[in-house]
Amino acid sequence: QSVLTQPPSASGTPGQRVTISCSGSSSNIGSNYVFWYQHLPGTAPKLLIYRNNLRPSGVPDRFSGSKSGTSASLAISGLRSEDEADYYCAAWDDSLSGFWVFGGGTKLTVL
């Protein structure tokens, strides 16, 4: 069971906007930045969003992140077939001596 909670699946049609939620607690999302990764089978995960809502260079502005309290969300607008992948949220957790926590992942299907 992951410390951060994500829906196991999401779907949308091309051109639609989809959002993926990520729920945590005061020791992780509530007090630290949230990061989002895209993971295609057989490849390395790719950083999509860092520090809650910033995009690395090369990531399309169709991807956006937000955070409120102990929850965060990833929004993908203008959905494309190549967006079909697994998406993970992550945050540092201040419990114990500190550690990274990931969500369980959300499989996005483009119908």
Partner 1 sequence: QVQLVQSGAEVKKPGASVKVSCKASGYTFTSYDINWVRQATGQGLEWMGWVNPNSGNTGYAQKFQGRVTITRNTSISTAYMELSSLRSEDTAVYYCARGYSHDYWGQGTLVTVSS
For partner 1, the closer CB: 68 or 96: 96
Task: Work out whether 15 is an interface residue with partner 1 (CB under 8 A).
Answer: no
Among 60, 100, 109, 111, binds partner 1 (CB under 8 A): 100
CB neighbourhood size of 6 (10 A):
24
Task: Work out whether 103 is an interface residue with partner 1 (CB under 8 A).
Answer: yes
Among 22, 90, 108, 110, binds partner 1 (CB under 8 A): 90
Per residue, what are the HEC states of the chain? CCCEECCCEEEECCCCCEEEEEECCCCCCCCCCEEEEEECCCCCCEEEEECCCECCCCCCCCEEEEEECCEEEEEECCCCHHHCEEEEEEEEECCCCCEEEEECCEEEEEC
Task: Work out whether 10 is an interface residue with partner 1 (CB under 8 A).
Answer: no
Cross-strand pairs, 64: 75
For partner 1, the closer CB: 9 or 16: 9
Interaction residues for partner 1, span 34-53 (CB under 8 A): 35, 37, 39, 44-47, 50-51
Binding site for partner 1 (CB under 8 A): 2, 35, 37, 39, 44-47, 50-51, 56, 86, 88, 90, 92, 96-105
